[in-house]
């Protein structure tokens, strides 16, 4: 149209789309234009502010590599990644939470009860629980991928001092749906703040810290794949995760223990554990696969 | 907060901002998060769709250079650039319209009446008018920067066959606020559609064409700088400008003429004009500089 105005530009945008545009794409773009246009109208965005926003995006492109994607980081610190996780989480299962950039394929297959501590420094933690249906039935043979930082806050693929696949594992639940491993407590760490995302964080008085967490992907035939992370209840950054990943249901209690009585016999390190150590009991609930919104991770 | 949910994440985002965050920045980010979060909630954006959006941004970063900024192009085809122009245009002046990426500094100073046709092919057009205040008083000595494509749809800085500064000029209005030049009719052209913006256009059945136009920057001491473009009323793409730049007030009539009677005597080419040619009469209205929202172009 030739009489584009502040008021009609959103409908002009819609009118431009061809009749054979995919319905879902059309809906998404209609909502996107609606909200971005309202944003400009409500803020009376100046040319200088518009240029600043575009500069942040341009600089994000400059600093991004396949290993460091600043656009995902923008999505993370704006809460968008977490919100996408939440709108796609079924109400009756364990909530999903950000995958993050540190997952790698090929972690070793290990049995239930494995020790991941090896030569790692740090507080020993025994983590175990079950993978369940929403009805509470155990899921046998469910696959878990587990990854976490070492005590220094770095993942194995960020730290040449760590062995390949350090603190990474691939495990299947036993006949009772159980998983179990010993590890060291992961450490809080910062998201990269030396780029445009850091500029945004600094300008708004925000820090780049994430609370410590264990990452999990939990999958079983016929169930929705779950990508999530669990957080210790005493972490200093639990209430201020830079990327909004914490949910009530993903907080686990680190129970301090001084003896191994009552720990399962298939815990590989059971006889060698030195007190004090911590025990975490955390169950995952998978929901039926409805064929939609599947999160693909590999 | 540790109990982040679909419902409270927008307020969590706000709570994260420090008390000494600049008020305007806080307001802009609050509105941005409000709208982006609503967008995700209303669409139930899937992980796959989220990844696709981030891929478009990543690819925009890959293809962008200082000469080709794909983020600005995204802003253009979404109508954001035009909307920023419109919300910053005073109601009582000539509307602004997109600057575009082809403006360069240093165009030659030329007198009122100059001929820009030189060796250019194409239909001859005599363009003139006045620079006025909202009250209709002429503004003497107002500066105009003028640039346009040649008949092939390319600007001089896109086309090595054209002389440097071809069809570019810097002129000051005379004592009556008049500007005047002869030129060739500019041609419609396409925005670059071989990148992620092109992917979006193709997926929605949109073409990349812009109607032909003359670019102007009009400036005078004490007045808001005006960045705008004017379009011929008979252009085939007038109702479907890919970047939403057309406004009713920016459409000019190309009047076909067969003789030079009545043309101003200071028109350099007057005695050499071959019929038929076109005449355009277009006045610019500048508003008082209020010190805000100034568009900086040089």
| pLDDT tens column, B225-273 | 999 999 999 999 999 999 999 999 999 999 999 999 999 999 999 999 9
Whether residue B1 is contained in a domain is answered as no
All residues of chain B having their beta carbon less than 8 Å from the beta carbon of residue A44 are 87-88
Task: Indicate if the pLDDT at residue B147 is higher than 60.
Answer: yes
Same domain, B118 and B34: no
pLDDT per residue over A191-209, tens digit each?
Answer: 999 999 999 999 999 999 9
What is the Cα–Cα distance from A185 to A79, expressed in whole angstroms? Answer: 26
Q: Cβ separation of B2 and A39 shorter than 8 Å?
A: no
Same domain, B166 and B276: yes
State the DSSP string of B23-68. HHHHHHHHHHHHHHHHHHHHHT--HHHHHHHHHHHHHHHHH--SS-
pLDDT range class, residue B66, cuts 50, 70, 90: confident
Same domain, A73 and A148: no
- pLDDT given at position B291: 64
Same domain, A43 and A123: no
Same domain, A73 and A96: no
Whether residue A294 is contained in a domain is answered as no
Same domain, A101 and A70: no
Structural domains of chain A, count: 2
- Is residue A206 within 8 Å of B17, Cβ to Cβ? yes
Task: Indicate if the pLDDT at residue A292 is higher than 70.
Answer: no
All residues of chain B having their beta carbon less than 8 Å from the beta carbon of residue A39 are 31-32, 35
Same domain, A51 and A125: no
Same domain, A228 and A255: yes
Same domain, A28 and A161: no
Q: Helix B47-63 vs helix A80-87: angle between axes, to the nearest 10 degrees?
A: 150
Whether residue B2 is contained in a domain is answered as no
Measured from the Cβ of residue B236, the count of other Cβ atoms closer than 10 Å reads 10
Measured from the Cβ of residue B287, the count of other Cβ atoms closer than 10 Å reads 16
Rg (CA), chain A: 23
Whether residue B225 is contained in a domain is answered as yes
pLDDT per residue over A35-60, tens digit each?
Answer: 999 999 999 999 999 999 999 999 99
Which range is least confidently modeled, B99-103, B104-108, B148-152?
A: B99-103
Q: Cβ separation of B239 and A2 shorter than 8 Å?
A: yes
DSSP A265: T
- Name the token pair of A3: 């009489």
Q: Cis omega (within 30 of 0) on the bond before B276? A: yes
- Is residue A208 within 8 Å of A227, Cβ to Cβ? no
Q: Cβ separation of A86 and B5 shorter than 8 Å?
A: yes
- pLDDT given at position A109: 97
User: Can you give the CATH number for the domain in which A109 is found?
Assistant: 2.60.130.10
Nearest CA-CA distance, residue A297 and chain B, Å: 11
What is the Cα–Cα distance from A253 to B162, expressed in whole angstroms? Answer: 72
What is the Cα–Cα distance from B236 to B248, expressed in whole angstroms? Answer: 15
Nearest CA-CA distance, residue B207 and chain A, Å: 9
Q: Cβ separation of B64 and A58 shorter than 8 Å?
A: yes
Residues in contact with B38: Cβ distance below 8 Å, sequence separation at least 6, in sequence order: A35
State the DSSP string of A117-146. -TT--S-EEEEEEEEE-TTS-B-TT-EEEE
Rg (CA), chain B: 23
Q: Cβ separation of A293 and B47 shorter than 8 Å?
A: yes
All residues of chain B having their beta carbon less than 8 Å from the beta carbon of residue A249 are none
Mutate to test the interface with B, among A8, A13, A72 (most CBs of B within 10 A): A13
Measured from the Cβ of residue A20, the count of other Cβ atoms closer than 10 Å reads 9
Strand partners, B130: B178
What is the Cα–Cα distance from A146 to A167, expressed in whole angstroms? Answer: 8
Higher pLDDT, B288 or B296: B288
pLDDT per residue over B267-294, tens digit each?
Answer: 999 999 988 999 999 999 999 987 654 4
- Is residue B242 within 8 Å of B205, Cβ to Cβ? no
What is the Cα–Cα distance from B143 to A6, expressed in whole angstroms? Answer: 28
pLDDT range class, residue B64, cuts 50, 70, 90: very high
- Is residue B294 within 8 Å of B225, Cβ to Cβ? yes
Out of A77, A112, A133, a domain closes at A77
Out of A77, A106, A131, a domain closes at A77
With residue B218 as reference, give the H or E element that holds it: strand B214-219
Out of B17, B48, B77, a domain closes at B77
Same domain, B58 and B139: no
Same domain, A73 and A186: no
Same domain, A101 and A229: yes
Q: What is the mean pLDDT of residues A68-76?
A: 95
- Mean pLDDT across chain B: 94
Nearest Cβ partner of A2 from B36, B79, B248? B248
pLDDT per residue over B155-170, tens digit each?
Answer: 999 999 999 999 999 9
Whether residue B295 is contained in a domain is answered as no
Whether residue A293 is contained in a domain is answered as no
Whether residue B86 is contained in a domain is answered as no
With residue B197 as reference, give the H or E element that holds it: helix B196-203
Residue span of the structural domain in which B199 resides: 92-285
- pLDDT given at position B298: 38
């Amino acid at each position: 149209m030739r009489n584009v105005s502040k008021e009609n530009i959103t409908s002009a945008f819609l009118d431009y789309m061809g009749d054979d545009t995919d319905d879902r794409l059309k809906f998404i773009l209609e909502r996107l234009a609606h909200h971005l246009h309202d944003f400009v109208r409500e803020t009376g965005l100046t040319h200088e502010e518009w240029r600043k926003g575009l500069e942040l995006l341009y600089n994000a492109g400059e600093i991004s590599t396949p290993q460091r994607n600043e656009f995902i980081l923008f999505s993370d610190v704006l809460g968008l990644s977490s919100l996408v996780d939440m709108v796609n989480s079924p109400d009756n299962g364990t909530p999903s939470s950000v995958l993050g950039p540190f997952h790698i394929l090929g972690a070793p297959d290990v049995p239930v009860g494995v020790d991941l501590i090896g030569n790692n420094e740090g507080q020993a933690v025994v983590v175990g629980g079950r993978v369940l249906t929403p009805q509470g039935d155990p899921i046998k043979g469910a696959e878990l991928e587990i990854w976490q930082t070492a005590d220094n806050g770095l993942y194995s693929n960020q730290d040449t001092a760590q062995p390949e696949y350090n603190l990474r594992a691939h495990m299947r639940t036993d006949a009772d749906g159980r998983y179990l491993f010993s590890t060291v407590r992961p450490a809080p760490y910062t998201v990269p703040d030396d780029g445009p995302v850091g500029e945004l964080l600094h300008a708004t008085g925000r820090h780049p810290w994430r609370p410590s967490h264990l990452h999990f992907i939990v999958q079983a035939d016929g169930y929705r794949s779950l990508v999530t992370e669990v957080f210790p209840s005493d972490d200093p950054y639990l209430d201020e995760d830079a990327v909004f990943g914490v949910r009530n249901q993903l907080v686990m209690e680190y129970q301090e223990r001084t003896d191994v009585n009552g720990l399962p016999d298939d815990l590989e390190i059971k006889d060698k554990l030195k007190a004090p150590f911590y025990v975490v009991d955390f169950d995952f609930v998978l929901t039926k696969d409805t064929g939609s919104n599947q999160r693909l991770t590999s």
